């Protein structure tokens, strides 16, 4: 046993760290979090539960505790990001198993633990692809000490927790979080996953189905399809060539035909590769380090040690043969996109983490400022986006090799000139070789990363330990916290060696476009991706042999946005909530000085109020073009700010145009001034407008390819009084002209008024100065006249008919997707604090059973979850499931959702007083937690401004309402809104049906909960097409719009 405490941390990090080694070889990092200690023990306001129960990333909050439709659900269809770029962000690998999806806001007081096993999919046996991934699932299915399959999930859910796991090529990570006073018991339960998993044959088929359902979510993901193409061209004698996801074919059908006992092989895999000395553990809690050490030793010392050496892949043959890799691959994508990617295989760089040469090279090639590759491509109307570097994921960063990639999203014109696009990249790389590694650039990156580390913000505990337990496998002990981020040593020799490898002769070129479908005759085995492989044209090779430098390409200029002043400012205006410090006929300014986080950061939010984008579908199109063109035309100016860790975002909400900024406060006003000046003066050329039209068209087409998002589009089309769907806007896009766009921009500039929130390390006078910047750059309409229009333009939700079930079905727009999405949305009532917390409490209660019953027991689909919704002041709850249409009909899915609600009713009838009190007190404690970061606090306050509630003390009101709730009231509330026959029952079912499904004749392999569902005691309305939908929604009355805070306290009478 040994103990050390030599982990380098930020000078402003109050946490304490200790590294210990257990006798069985496990190394553990213990973290004491003093910021959580005051709320560590259960009181009358116990620790929390996660009461927003989905990781649905497109349902961002309109307040801090509910999924809100007020702002972001409508915005999803607006063009606000480059989310259609296949490789942008490098979000890939095997998707995570999330048992109780956690919400995005603060869980800073929770305790958390993560375990990294230093083995992964590279060790899959050749005859059972995906076995490592299957084992990741199976260890959750009971152990000798806690044999029940769902025991940990139930325990975690009842105690404010969640769990998660993921499998990579050389590592497998498991993590959980929970309320502090249950952490000791949770550690013991969690450690048993690794000490004594049962791996029962009775659980095997269900978990194989779960893995298959998970794979079905990736089948139509272009990023994952590209990854598997890379695997398919790897050396067949190298583990890189494996199919790592796993599905029923690889885990059940093929092994069955070959007489392989998968369960026995799974147990062998566990015994061989889940040894304690392959594991690292990270824990964070408010308990003292000595206590944590005692708990960790007691829990994890029983994990067995098999005395086998850690498997190594260093002496294997090369992962790729040059003759297969250095070719031109053409791929037909799922989405409507043109892309070209250049890739190079480089040596393993694990031992160069202190230099980070790939980060340096990616920083330069991916630079989007003046005289960079993307800037030149945009000038020629060839491209809209470019990314470069290495993701750090196992498939491109492992002990065998590193991959450096540059991916470009092309315009139609760029696709026709792909050789010229590739040539510009190669010219830039040649320039880098000739000028050599630049120490001043390295130091600039080093300074930015050091600033970010020094003034790092709190993370969710579960994310923090997840990252750290992997870092413990990669870095020296002193660098556990810094190894993944900081640039330690400038080594020009190491950088130059890699630069010299990025030459045309060693490149792999991959081209994606639907236009390639006729030439792509090959079909990848697992995903069914159509592709071709051919030699790179000799003409290209000859021209690249005598490559000239491009005079329009050069190194970036020094970055003027790097902060150097970190002084905390004194403010005489310390308030608990934002206060209105400035108001005239054109502008309002809310302000709150930071008195909590003590960091040199600031947050700025501005809404330019307008209803031009909601008047008609063409207005929505113009808004999308505006967002696209603004971001593209400001990029050369704003990109240096973004790499200096200054964040900005532009989007359209129901209120108008919203711009937010966040980061170190020193240079944030400079960025603000640049953005406002650009907003006031930017103009576009006909070429830029044409490119934007093309990009927006692709966004519209690709958006509805995702069944989950299409389902949301349809749901909101039914519920919102004013709604211009993606499909409607796509139809109107052809009517957009540059002249009409310029008229839209002019009218917007002349008719808007502005409302602003400023928070953080900034004085009230400086905040007023920002308002002066706004007024100097833009003309605002007086609020005295605009206020009337503002009330008229407030969004409203329609009121569904009482005791009625409305059904609307659409076909999945991706005709090759196996996924069917079924959503049952229950519209409840106009928002009051009491109804809000009741809906949240019930959604929390339903969360774990939803996952267990629909996903684990019935294997209906990999994603099964409940959500709370706030649609323009109307509370709703939905039950969601994503199933495979080839396995289950939508009728079966719908029946299972109905049965689930009936089971919840039965469970509520048996709900114990103890469990009710525990959940209420846990939710109260959750609400009492302070925000993790200034950004979270400001976003919560900003939601109040955008929603026009201005209820900055909402948390206190919700706590008071929760403490006043009684169990009978909650149960009765559920029956009122969820049970057929009640006057308040209003249900909307939206179903996006796979074109590959079997329809109603699909056989459901698992028994339903009862012999039959009782005949409905409600009316049913089936909407057969878009025309019927429009006529139906127009016939409905609306809930009143939100005008005042009084709406929070006074219920609105039911719609007639």
Q: Which residues are catalytic?
A: 136
Alpha-carbon distance of 323 to 317, in angstroms, equals 15
Alpha-carbon distance of 779 to 378, in angstroms, equals 31
Number of C-alpha atoms within 13 angstroms, CB side, residue 1051?
Answer: 9
Strands 1019-1023 and 804-811: parallel
DSSP for 194-229, please give it.
Answer: HH-B---HHHHHHHHHHHHHHHHHHTT-HHHHHHHH
Cα 936 to its chain centre, rounded Å, is 16
CA distances from 529 to 240, 334, 607, 1030 (A): 18, 9, 44, 38
Query: What is the distance in angstroms between the CA of the first residue and the CA of the last residue of the chain?
Result: 72
The three-class DSSP label of residue 879 is: strand
Beta carbons of 29 and 16 less than 8 angstroms apart: no
Locus of tokens 């009710």: 916
Name which of 432, 231, 421 is nearest 341 in CA terms.
Answer: 421
Number of C-alpha atoms within 13 angstroms, CB side, residue 130?
Answer: 27
Alpha-carbon distance of 210 to 193, in angstroms, equals 18
Beta carbons of 752 and 609 less than 8 angstroms apart: yes
Burial 318-331 (b: 16+ CB within 10 A, else e): ebbeeeebbbbbbb
Locus of tokens 């990249």: 425
Alpha-carbon distance of 159 to 919, in angstroms, equals 8
Beta carbons of 404 and 387 less than 8 angstroms apart: no
DSSP for 359-381, please give it.
Answer: HHHHHHHT--STTSHHHHHHHTT
Contacts of 961 (CB under 8 A, 6+ apart): 833, 834, 836, 837
Contacts of 204 (CB under 8 A, 6+ apart): 138, 262, 263, 266
Beta carbons of 585 and 742 less than 8 angstroms apart: no
Q: What is the dihedral of CA 58, 64, 69, 72, to 10 degrees?
A: -50
Strands 753-760 and 2-4: unpaired
SS3 for 699-746 is HHHHHCCCHHHHHHHHHHHHHECCCCCHHHHHHHHCCCCHHHHHHHHH
């Amino acid at each position: 046993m040994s103990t050390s405490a030599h982990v380098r941390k930020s000078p402003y990090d109050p946490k304490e760290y200790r590294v210990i080694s257990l006798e069985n070889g496990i190394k553990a990092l213990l973290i004491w979090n003093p910021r959580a200690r005051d709320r560590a023990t259960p009181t009358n306001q116990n620790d929390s539960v996660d009461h927003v129960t989905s990781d649905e990333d497109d349902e961002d909050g309109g307040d801090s505790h509910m999924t809100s439709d007020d702002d972001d659900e409508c915005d999803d269809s607006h063009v606000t990001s480059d989310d259609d770029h296949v490789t942008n962000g490098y979000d890939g690998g095997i998707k995570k198993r999330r048992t109780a999806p956690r919400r995005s806001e603060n869980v800073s007081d929770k305790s958390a633990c993560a375990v990294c096993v230093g083995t992964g999919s590279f060790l899959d046996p050749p005859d059972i692809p995906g076995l490592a991934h299957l084992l990741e699932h199976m260890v959750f299915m009971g152990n000798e000490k806690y044999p029940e399959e769902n025991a940990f999930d139930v325990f975690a859910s009842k105690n404010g927790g969640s769990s998660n796991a993921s499998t990579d090529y050389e590592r497998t990570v498991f993590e959980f979080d929970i309320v502090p006073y249950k952490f000791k018991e949770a550690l013991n339960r969690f450690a048993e996953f690794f000490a004594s998993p049962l791996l029962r044959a009775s659980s095997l088929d269900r978990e194989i189905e779960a893995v298959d359902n998970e794979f079905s979510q990736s089948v139509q993901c272009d990023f994952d399809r590209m990854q598997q193409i890379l695997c398919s061209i790897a050396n067949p004698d190298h583990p890189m060539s494996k199919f790592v996801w796993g599905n029923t074919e690889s885990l059940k059908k093929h092994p069955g035909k070959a007489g392989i006992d998968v369960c026995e092989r799974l147990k062998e895999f566990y015994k061989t590769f889940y040894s304690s000395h392959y594991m690292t553990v990270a824990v964070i809690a408010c308990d003292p380090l000595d206590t944590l050490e005692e708990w960790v030793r007691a829990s994890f010392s029983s994990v067995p040690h098999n005395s086998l050496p850690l498997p190594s892949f260093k002496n294997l043959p090369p992962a790729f043969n040059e003759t297969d890799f250095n070719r031109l691959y053409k791929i037909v994508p799922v989405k409507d996109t043109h892309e070209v990617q250049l890739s190079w295989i480089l040596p393993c760089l694990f031992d160069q983490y202190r230099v980070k040469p790939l980060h340096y090279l990616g920083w330069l090639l991916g630079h989007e400022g003046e005289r960079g590759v993307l800037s030149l491509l945009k000038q020629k109307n060839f491209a809209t986006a470019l990314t470069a570097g290495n993701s750090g994921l196992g498939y491109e960063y492992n002990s065998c090799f590193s991959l450096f990639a540059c991916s470009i999203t092309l315009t139609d014109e760029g696709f026709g000139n792909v050789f010229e696009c590739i040539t510009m990249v190669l010219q830039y790389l040649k320039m880098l070789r000739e000028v050599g590694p630049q120490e001043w650039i390295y130091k600039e990156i080093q300074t930015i990363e050091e600033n970010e580390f020094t003034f790092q913000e709190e993370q969710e505990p579960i994310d923090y330990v997840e990252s750290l337990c992997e870092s413990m496998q990669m870095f020296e002990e002193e660098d556990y916290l810094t190894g993944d981020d900081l640039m330690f040593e400038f080594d020009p020799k190491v950088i130059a060696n890699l630069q010299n490898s990025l030459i045309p002769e060693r490149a792999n070129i991959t081209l994606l476009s639907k236009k390639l479908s006729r030439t792509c005759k090959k079909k990848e085995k697992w995903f069914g991706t159509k592709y071709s492989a051919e030699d790179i044209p000799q003409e290209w090779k000859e021209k690249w042999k005598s490559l000239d430098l491009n005079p329009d390409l050069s190194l970036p200029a020094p970055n003027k946005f790097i902060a150097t002043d970190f002084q905390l400012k004194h403010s005489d205006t310390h308030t608990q909530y934002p206060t209105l410090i400035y108001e005239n006929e054109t502008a309002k300014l809310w302000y709150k000085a930071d008195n909590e986080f003590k960091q040199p950061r600031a947050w700025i939010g501005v809404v330019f109020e307008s209803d031009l984008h909601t008047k008609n579908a063409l207005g929505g199109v113009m808004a999308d073009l505006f967002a696209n063109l603004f971001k593209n035309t400001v990029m050369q100016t704003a990109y240096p700010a973004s790499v200096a860790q200054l964040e900005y975002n532009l989007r359209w909400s129901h209120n108008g145009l919203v711009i937010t900024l966040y980061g170190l406060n020193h240079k944030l006003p400079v960025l603000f001034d640049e953005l406002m000046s650009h907003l006031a003066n930017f103009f576009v050329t006909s070429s830029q407008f044409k490119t934007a039209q093309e990009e927006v068209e692709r966004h519209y087409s690709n958006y509805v390819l995702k069944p989950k998002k299409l389902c949301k589009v349809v749901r909101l089309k039914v519920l919102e009084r004013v709604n211009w769907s993606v499909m409607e806007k796509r139809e109107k896009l052809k009517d957009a002209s540059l002249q009409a766009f310029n008229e839209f921009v002019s009218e917007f500039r002349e008719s808007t008024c502005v409302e602003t929130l400023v928070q953080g390390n900034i004085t009230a006078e400086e905040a007023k100065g920002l308002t002066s910047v706004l007024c100097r750059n833009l003309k605002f309409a007086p609020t005295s006249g605009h206020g009337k229009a503002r009330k008229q333009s407030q969004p409203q939700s329609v009121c569904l008919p009482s005791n009625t079930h409305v059904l609307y079905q659409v076909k999945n727009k991706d005709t090759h997707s196996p996924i069917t999405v079924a959503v049952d949305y229950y519209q409840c009532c106009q928002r009051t604090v009491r109804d809000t917390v009741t809906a949240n409490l019930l959604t929390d209660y339903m969360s774990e059973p939803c996952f267990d019953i629909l996903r684990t027991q019935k294997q209906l689909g990999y994603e099964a979850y409940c959500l709370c919704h706030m649609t323009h002041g109307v509370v709703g709850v939905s039950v969601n499931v994503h199933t495979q249409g080839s396995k289950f009909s939508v009728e079966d899915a719908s029946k299972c959702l109905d049965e689930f609600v009936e089971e919840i009713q039965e469970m509520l009838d048996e709900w114990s007083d103890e469990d009710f009190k525990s959940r209420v007190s846990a939710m109260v404690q959750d609400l009492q937690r302070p925000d993790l970061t200034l950004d979270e606090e400001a976003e919560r306050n900003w939601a109040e401004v955008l929603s026009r509630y201005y209820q900055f003390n909402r948390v206190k009101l919700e706590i008071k309402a929760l403490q006043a709730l009684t169990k009978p009231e909650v149960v009765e509330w559920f029956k009122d809104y969820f049970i057929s026959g009640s006057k308040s029952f209003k249900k909307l079912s939206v179903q996006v049906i796979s074109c590959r499904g079997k329809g109603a004749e699909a056989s459901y392999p698992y028994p339903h909960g009862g012999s039959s569902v009782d005949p409905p005691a409600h009316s049913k309305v089936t909407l057969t097409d878009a025309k019927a939908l429009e006529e139906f929604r127009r016939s409905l009355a609306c809930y009143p719009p939100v005008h005042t805070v009084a709406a929070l306290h006074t219920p609105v009478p039911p719609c007639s």
